[in-house]
Amino acid sequence: MSPEIALLNETWDLVKSHVSSKEKLEVAETLLRLFEENIDISEIHIHSNEFDKVMKTAIVSYFDEGVEDEDDDYDDDYSNGW
């Protein structure tokens, strides 16, 4: 695991106990956004099983949103014969 992803994991472990259950997913996504904008966490999918359920859900939600958009563009291009 990269030091950056280890730092995210440690930070999440410290923060999550101070956040209500209702807000954990939102806080996890915000933390991911902050890390992604400032340090390299490109290998996070490789290590996602080392995070708890809430952070895994946030990882899938946060990083897969962009992938779906790209796939949709590909399907549109293919159906148009491009």
Give the tens place of pLDDT for each residue, 10-49: 999 999 999 999 999 999 999 999 999 999 888 888 888 8
- H or E segment to which residue 74 belongs: helix 53-79
Tokens 């999440």, located at residue: 12
18: which residues sit within 8 A by CB, 6+ positions away? none
Give the tens place of pLDDT for each residue, 46-80: 888 899 999 999 999 888 865 444 445 555 555 55
Q: So what's the pLDDT on residue 80?
A: 56
Q: So what's the pLDDT on residue 76?
A: 54
Q: So what's the pLDDT on residue 64?
A: 80
DSSP label at 51? S
Q: So what's the pLDDT on residue 63?
A: 80
Q: So what's the pLDDT on residue 19?
A: 94
